[in-house]
Amino acid sequence: MELLAPSYPSTAKRARSFGPTRRAMRNVRDLSNDLLPFAVGVLAAAFVHRIWRTNAPVGHAADAWLQAVVDEMPEGISIMDATGRVAVESRCLQQLSAGEPFARDRFGNRVTIDLRRPWGDRVLPDDSPLVRAITHNQTTRVTEFAVRRADGESVPVLMSAAPIRGAGGTLAGAAMIVRDISARRAFERLREEWASLIVHDLQQPLSAIVLRSDLLLGSDLSAKQRDAVRDIRGMALRLSSMVNDLNDSSQLESSRMRMSPARLDLGAVARDAVSRVPGAASRTSLRLPADRELFVKGDAERLEQVMTNLLSNAVKYSAADTEIVLELSQRDGHAEVVVRNDGPGIPADELPRLFDRYMRSRTVRREGPKGLGLGLYIAKGLVQAHGGRIWADSAVNRTNFHFTIPLDAS
């Protein structure tokens, strides 16, 4: 996505300039529907920058005017011109400074923002979202980072950056906006603690029910009594699975999902997943590359959780006499996993929302098994936590779920 900055050459032509503005708003809206003020802030920064370049008084007065405008904005803002020079930084962004400049980027700008990945790795100055918007024409969409301040505190932030294009399509610069999400993270920690307590208090009686059911099934029961105990056990296990999904969802929302990454053979994970999904082993065709093993760095248990979720859905939503395909391949430095089933298909209008929390298709709500609609949402979070992406495509009587994980070259 590029921000299209409207120009105002004359009063008579201003009406025609709203077209680029509307296109820019449509592009910016795609950044995040949940963070519309964040996206609008990027557009506002680009809009202000363009006005400054065309209509504002020249010289020091123009700089002071633009600085005064962005200083009143609640998010951190930085704007580069077409040459890569930082034209303005807002007061809010300067408050996240690490103190004295510790490096320079490729354009010679002094770097005072100590930008880190959420797990602590430092982002090099030339890899910052704002610089890459200029050098690689790259748009960064509401991506989480951390900023190390001068007092040593690590502040979680969301960043968006995008190139700014003039009316003629020429590069006019780039804009970046930074939102401090410390308060949100504190709230999410409280929510996670609450969810953990609920999960603990629910799992204890559920585990007791399953244990007592197993003991009863080993005793002398009539056929009717045995069926009743099996029903009780099955419902307790299903409720336990829902409780675990709620816990995983809470941890993903607060970015506190615990991972144990290690170098692993993705094919071995796939074989384990097929063997553990009830009803999948006899129907699944496992297709692995004949000439290589696909090694990735990840959490074996969590990646297996993603595969078992997709396989379970394939078993539930396809006819019992149809084949399920689990295929692994290599593509552009990533391992790609595809789960294919010959089910009824997913309506096209539901595909964009398929991985949303609590999303269940109309057909499943009407005819399918009961559930919370968290499985695919959790799968998406786990794949993204491994640096990959997940998506689906569907046609009549055919549905494919894909996800990718970066290959481990070590």
* 149/273 same-domain check: no
Contact 41, 139 (CB under 8 A): no
Tokens of 201: 């208090």
- Residues 4-15 have a mean pLDDT of 39
Burial (Cβ within 10 Å: 0-12, 13-18, ≥19) of residue 133 = buried
The full length of the chain comes to: 410
* 275/143 same-domain check: no
pLDDT one-digit tens code per residue, 291-330: 889 999 999 999 999 999 999 989 988 888 899 999 999 9
Single out the residue in 161, 180, 199 at which a domain terminates: 180
pLDDT category, 166, cuts 50, 70, 90?
Answer: confident
* 166/225 same-domain check: no
- Residues 225-236 have a mean pLDDT of 91
- For residue 114, the model assigns a pLDDT of 93
Backbone angles phi, psi at 204, to 5 degrees: -60, -55
Assess whether pLDDT exceeds 80 at residue 281: yes
- For residue 23, the model assigns a pLDDT of 40
> What number of other Cβ atoms are within 10 A of residue 22's Cβ?
11
* 213/329 same-domain check: no
Assess whether pLDDT exceeds 60 at residue 47: no
- For residue 68, the model assigns a pLDDT of 80
Query: Total domain count for the chain?
Result: 3
- The range of the structural domain enclosing residue 144 comes to 3-180
Tokens of 391: 């998506």
Tokens of 77: 């803002």
pLDDT one-digit tens code per residue, 171-227: 888 989 999 999 888 887 787 777 778 777 888 888 899 999 999 998 888 999 999
* 210/292 same-domain check: no
- Residues 235-249 have a mean pLDDT of 83
* 234/143 same-domain check: no
Single out the residue in 253, 278, 302 at which a domain terminates: 253
- Cα(249)–Cα(252) distance, integer angstroms: 5
- For residue 58, the model assigns a pLDDT of 46
Max CA separation in the chain (angstroms): 93
Q: Which long-range contacts (CB under 8 A, 24 or more apart) does 180-187 make?
A: 180/75, 180/76, 180/92, 180/96, 180/155, 180/156, 181/144, 181/156, 181/157, 182/155, 182/156, 185/156, 185/254, 185/255
- For residue 391, the model assigns a pLDDT of 95
The CATH number of the domain where 43 resides is what?
3.30.450.20
- Cα(394)–Cα(279) distance, integer angstroms: 22
The CATH number of the domain where 330 resides is what?
3.30.565.10
* 42/64 same-domain check: yes
Select the more confidently predicted residue: 373 or 131: 131
